[in-house]
Amino acid sequence: MPDERVVVIGAGVGGLVAAALLAAHGRDVTVVEACGGPGGKLRAIDVGGMRVDGGPTVFTMRGLFEEIFAACGGSLDDHLAIRSAATLARHAWGDARLDLHADPAASEAAIGDFAGADAVRGYRAFRAEAKRLFEALDRPFLRGTKTDPITLGWRMGARGLPDYLNLRAYTSMWRALGRYFADPRLRQLFGRYATYCGSSPFACPATLMLIAHVEASGVWLVEGGMYRLAFALEALGRANGVRFRYDAPVAGILVEHGRATGVRLASGERIAAGAVVCNADPAAIAAGAFGQAARHATRPVAPARRSLSALVWTARATARGFPLARHTVFFSDDYPAEFAALAAGRLAGVPSVYVCAQDRTDDGGNAAADERLQIIVNAPATGDGAPLPPVEIDRCTQAMLKAVSRAGLSLSLAPSTVLTTPADFARLCPSTGGALYGPASHGWAASFRRQGSRTRIPGLYCAGGSTHPGAGVPMAALSGRLAVECLLRDRASTSAWTRAAMPGGTSMRPATTAATG
């Protein structure tokens, strides 16, 4: 009888989704997580007695989560109160401001007022292109197992050939944006979507313009904080019988006769299983964090290929002088210089800054004298090097405050403020240097080089934002679902092989395709 037990290492989004779906398919699932609760990067930080979102704040692709909850016999709406945002985000360059809206006509009107009629035409063309790219790649790439360029072409088929030949993979996003937007501020605004997967608009392919379509299709606000999504996924898993073990770091993946057969906790306890899904960064497996026997299962990621990290201030604060929306971005004047510094492993002298005012409505209503803010500045993923000295941390904080003050925003952060640095992220996600999105999506081939759901060790699967199809909460969820699909398919073909190999069977078929997918 095949062993139907599965151990999931990590309760990040990918691990939670994989666990819930596996349990819904009747598997006996145990999640072992190093931290004290679910979420991984999708977490809240206790700041002065309040829970402040310390990770993702922009919730997109709600429909995907509805699919996942439904597949597990649940409903997203039963777990979370979610509203759609009419204002997607506010953007500021000194005194100039531009809001983008869920309603395309409202965005066009705002862009027209901001930069004129040509900019509106450019925006319309850009929007259509971002939609085309997303729709071309949604099924064959994002929702499909890891693939290569030839198989992708095959999946897209004859009808998809025109799109396949025009995936914009050989042009940088920045260059492509120059054709839509003469106004440098708009080029910068739409180039920023590259950072949603921790990449530079100067180095990633124009294909990633599709991220703009994801956001334009809907941004959702989770009442109480986005971290609640992690608890909702945990509850979904529990309802299907998943066991969660927190404060239980895994020290090794057990491999016997070339197959993953369970895990060894740091405490020494062994948990046997028929398969293991690893939601920790695949770089940690390659670095030997799960033992020598598993090391060859994934490929290492060279530090130069890492995606961005971040400095994240989670604070109770008073904000004056600028009308923050729920999501506001304060841009620097010199995007090329900012990304050149990051590429050289340094913090930008004058950074662009993202502020999430999580107590406010999408357009900035509900402002209070004491409100919860999350503030992000991009940083290089050098968290495995020397920690930032206090003087450097103070310099970063001053640079951030100065950057927002150019638009008139005066922030007073309470002493309880928590700053999370790349070194802190590296502790949360070992072997990454604090890279928040796996390898950077730089160059045309990067998306094809990402770790797939299957590893080189049969029975060991990867799931999460560093695995195919990519980073961000929805992509990590897709990755969790793909890991489950691969695992179930492999188990089914193993059973068929076993049946065929039984006395009286006639054919011997291969059990798994362990190296790809």
Question: Footprint of ligand FAD on this chain (CB under 6 A)?
Answer: 9-15, 32-35, 40-42, 55-58, 249-250, 279-280, 310, 312, 376, 428-430, 436-437, 464-466, 471-473, 476
Q: Residues of 293-309 as b/e, b for ≥16 C-beta within 10 angstroms?
A: bbbebbbebeeebbbbb
Question: Closest CB to ligand FAD among 61 and 156?
Answer: 61
- Shortest Å distance, C-beta 179 to ligand FAD: 27
DSSP structural state of residue 6: E
Q: Tokens standing for 418?
A: 């928590």
Question: Closest CB to ligand FAD among 102 and 511?
Answer: 102
Question: Closest CB to ligand FAD among 452 and 472?
Answer: 472
CA nearest to 37, candidates 242, 222, 247: 247
Question: Closest CB to ligand FAD among 15 and 160?
Answer: 15
- Shortest Å distance, C-beta 480 to ligand FAD: 7
DSSP structural state of residue 8: E
CA nearest to 93, candidates 173, 187, 158: 187
Query: Helix, strand or coil for residue 250?
Result: strand
- Shortest Å distance, C-beta 11 to ligand FAD: 5
The Cα angle at residue 418 between residues 321 and 408, in degrees rounded to 5: 15
- Shortest Å distance, C-beta 52 to ligand FAD: 11
Torsion of CA 239, 242, 245, 249, to 10 degrees: -140
117: CB partners within 8 A, 6+ apart: none
Torsion of CA 63, 64, 66, 72, to 10 degrees: 160
Question: Closest CB to ligand FAD among 181 and 437?
Answer: 437
- Shortest Å distance, C-beta 39 to ligand FAD: 7
- Shortest Å distance, C-beta 158 to ligand FAD: 34
Q: Tokens standing for 347?
A: 């913090």
- Shortest Å distance, C-beta 214 to ligand FAD: 9
Question: Closest CB to ligand FAD among 120 and 471?
Answer: 471
For residues 308 and 382, is the Cβ–Cβ distance under 8 A?
A: no
Cα(494)–Cα(384) distance, integer angstroms: 41
Question: Closest CB to ligand FAD among 180 and 220?
Answer: 220
DSSP structural state of residue 426: H
- Shortest Å distance, C-beta 358 to ligand FAD: 11
Question: Closest CB to ligand FAD among 74 and 464?
Answer: 464
Question: Closest CB to ligand FAD among 43 and 180?
Answer: 43
CA-based radius of gyration for the chain: 23
- Shortest Å distance, C-beta 359 to ligand FAD: 17
- Shortest Å distance, C-beta 471 to ligand FAD: 4
Q: How many CB atoms lie within 10 A of CB 499?
A: 11
CA dist 486 → 197, 330, 462, 497, 516 (Å): 24, 42, 10, 16, 10
Question: Closest CB to ligand FAD among 205 and 465?
Answer: 465
- Shortest Å distance, C-beta 355 to ligand FAD: 12
Would you list the DSSP string of 271-328?
A: EE-SEEEE-S-HHHHHTTTT-GGGGGGS----GGGB--EEEEEEEEEEEESS---SEE
For residues 423 and 435, is the Cβ–Cβ distance under 8 A?
A: no
Question: Closest CB to ligand FAD among 177 and 379?
Answer: 379
